Amino acid sequence: MRNLLTPLLTEADPRDSREGSIDPLGLYAIADSLGVKLVPGVRERQSHPRFLTAIAVGQVIGSHFSEDIVAKDGVSEPWQVYEWYLVEGLVRTFTDSNEIQGLPGRDKAKRAINDRMHLSRSRYLKTPSVFGFHGVYRILAHDLDIATVEGLGENGYRLVTTWEKEQGLKGFCFSENGSTHPRRYQLYKAIEDGLSKGTVDRTFGWDGWTFFKDHLSHKKCGKQEAQMILDALISGSDFRKQVIDFLISSEGQNVWRNSESEREFHRDLIKNAAQELHALLDAILAYERFARLLLDAFQECLMLMTQKRTKISPRELAKSDCVKLAVQKLPDLFPEVSDKLLVINETTRYEEGFSRFSIRMKPEEWVETLLTHHMEIQKNKPPHGKNPWFEQLDDGSVIIRTGYFRDIGGAKDESYVHGYRTFPLWSFMLDLGKVAYE
């Protein structure tokens, strides 16, 4: 059963590029730690909770495969072959492109179908264990005890039992007379043949394709199934429950619909939050003020470098309003953030990573510090470091590198730099019928 649950990193990742366009100042790790504490299991890339059902059903179908079995390609496990079938099936059977939005791998499936081919290792996502729906949702499936490395969790058992009853598939998961449900056997054989061939191995006219559209469409949760998923979400974490309860309340819905701002949402949520949640939200609000000031200054410098195109000195960059604001605000804000991050034991990492910005200095010196900080962050990125976004000359001036041009400077507002799961949770609640589409 492990094969359909745990996308192990058995496939060697391609050698990383020396270019790194994500997290240029090293701010993400602490933000992610805060987000994980606030809404465990949920990630920004998630949008449709019914993939949890798909994972659980896949566990059932694949329960008869041995744990060490792989496809003809030498890499793909049963969970992966099942994912190929589900993704290809949904793309084949839905004519409205809106119905497959939010489906990982849909573009790969479209391309394969247009070429009159099937999904396989070479025609699917390069790193499906991360970017396929198993990869995106497996952490949440584990956290909610829907699926474990040993098989279905307690909530997974309840979920598939509810699903098969609501879908009119009694006996699909748990047969009363010992016989295998014909649909389950049909899918099992498809996966078995897919393993043997190393590719989806069913004709374009196979009647099994409709199973995925009719019973596992990621946007069409059954009413009782939806309630099961919601119950799992709100029972496993008190913080997650408080966030969801407020989000689906009339007040929470109004705040989110009117602003779509996590800062505004958290400012309202914190008013009546329990003590521990209050402290966590306070830490998030403070850290995001720090992150916004720092990133705005960096982005403003990139914009000025872009406008100049030739070399530009730290003295010129120091004229930026965003730089001046950061120089003024960060030294006072730094100890406040440090103190508030104690709630998640991130104070040490914060101080080790950003203490240079706790010191008062002149704007030109501060810019030099910011540029050095970015270069060190890039140098220390795994596996072998990344190139900085600019070249630094011997006289200290810099020239922005192709690929990092920026026409827009800092946001110059209080918006969060990072996501704290409200967007995916809102999408979840829409799918589960707990908030209404406008």
- Assess if residue 430 is contained within a domain: no
C-alpha to C-alpha distance for 148 and 294, rounded to whole angstroms = 40
pLDDT class of 174 with cuts at 50, 70, 90 = confident
C-alpha to C-alpha distance for 288 and 294, rounded to whole angstroms = 10
Is 77 in the same domain as 216?
yes
- Assess if residue 243 is contained within a domain: no
C-alpha to C-alpha distance for 358 and 367, rounded to whole angstroms = 14
Is 164 in the same domain as 225?
yes
Contact predicate 390/377, CB 8 Å: no
Residues 6+ apart with CB under 8 A from 425: 39, 42, 243, 244, 247
Instruction: Using the predicted structure, report yes or no on whether residue 24 has a pLDDT greater than 70.
Output: yes
Residues facing 400 on adjacent strands: 390
- Assess if residue 428 is contained within a domain: no
Is 193 in the same domain as 287?
no
Q: Give the β-pairing of 390-392 and 151-152.
A: unpaired
**Number of compact structural domains in the chain:** 2
Instruction: Using the predicted structure, report yes or no on whether residue 11 has a pLDDT greater than 70.
Output: no
The secondary structure of residue 391, as a DSSP letter, is E
Reduce the DSSP state of residue 148 to 3 states and report it: strand
Is 136 in the same domain as 196?
yes
What six digits make up the tokens of 231? 């119950």
Is 294 in the same domain as 187?
no
Is 105 in the same domain as 180?
yes
Average pLDDT over residues 334-362: 98
pLDDT tens for residues 196-231? 999 999 999 999 999 999 999 999 999 999 999 999
Is 283 in the same domain as 149?
no
Bond into 383 cis (ω within 30): yes
Q: Among 183, 218, 235, identify where a domain stops.
A: 235
User: What's the mean per-residue pLDDT of the chain?
Assistant: 94
Residue 178: what pLDDT? 63
For helices 78-93 and 133-143, the axis angle rounded to 10 degrees is 110
Is 48 in the same domain as 182?
yes
CB atoms within 10 A of CB 413: 9
- Assess if residue 423 is contained within a domain: no
Give the residue from 50, 83, 52, 66 showing the smallest Cα distance to 3: 66
C-alpha to C-alpha distance for 110 and 122, rounded to whole angstroms = 14
- Assess if residue 260 is contained within a domain: no
- Assess if residue 265 is contained within a domain: no
Is 152 in the same domain as 290?
no
What is Dmax (Cα atoms) for the chain? 81
Residues facing 391 on adjacent strands: 399
Residue 18: what pLDDT? 85
Which residue in this structure is represented by tokens 């979400």? 233
C-alpha to C-alpha distance for 42 and 424, rounded to whole angstroms = 8
Is 107 in the same domain as 46?
yes
Q: Among 177, 205, 235, identify where a domain stops.
A: 235
pLDDT tens for residues 51-92? 999 999 999 999 889 889 999 999 999 999 999 999 999 999
- Assess if residue 415 is contained within a domain: no
Instruction: For the chain, give the number of residues.
Output: 438
Residue 4: what pLDDT? 44
C-alpha to C-alpha distance for 133 and 51, rounded to whole angstroms = 7
pLDDT tens for residues 224-260? 999 999 999 999 899 999 999 999 999 999 999 999 9
What six digits make up the tokens of 323? 């730089």
C-alpha to C-alpha distance for 365 and 318, rounded to whole angstroms = 8
CB atoms within 10 A of CB 343: 18
CB atoms within 10 A of CB 318: 21
One-letter identity of residue 315:
R
pLDDT class of 10 with cuts at 50, 70, 90 = very low
Is 124 in the same domain as 215?
yes
pLDDT tens for residues 290-318? 999 999 999 999 999 999 999 999 999 99
CB neighbour class for 142 (10 Å; exposed up to 12, middle 13-18, buried from 19): middle
State which residues form the domain around 94. Answer: 2-9+41-235
pLDDT tens for residues 111-154? 999 999 999 999 999 999 999 999 999 999 999 999 998 889 99
- 4: Cα within 13 Å, side-chain hemisphere: 30
Reduce the DSSP state of residue 70 to 3 states and report it: coil
Is 191 in the same domain as 58?
yes
Give the residue from 376, 356, 375 showing the smallest Cα distance to 366: 356
Percent of residues, the chain, with pLDDT higher than 90: 90
Instruction: Using the predicted structure, report yes or no on whether residue 6 has a pLDDT greater than 60.
Output: no
Contact predicate 77/70, CB 8 Å: yes
CB atoms within 10 A of CB 21: 10
Percent of residues, the chain, with pLDDT higher than 70: 96
CB neighbour class for 431 (10 Å; exposed up to 12, middle 13-18, buried from 19): buried
C-alpha to C-alpha distance for 214 and 180, rounded to whole angstroms = 20
- Assess if residue 296 is contained within a domain: yes
Give the residue from 69, 65, 106 showing the smallest Cα distance to 89: 106
What's the distance, CA 129 to chain centroid? 13
174/378: higher pLDDT: 378
Instruction: Using the predicted structure, report yes or no on whether residue 96 has a pLDDT greater than 80.
Output: yes
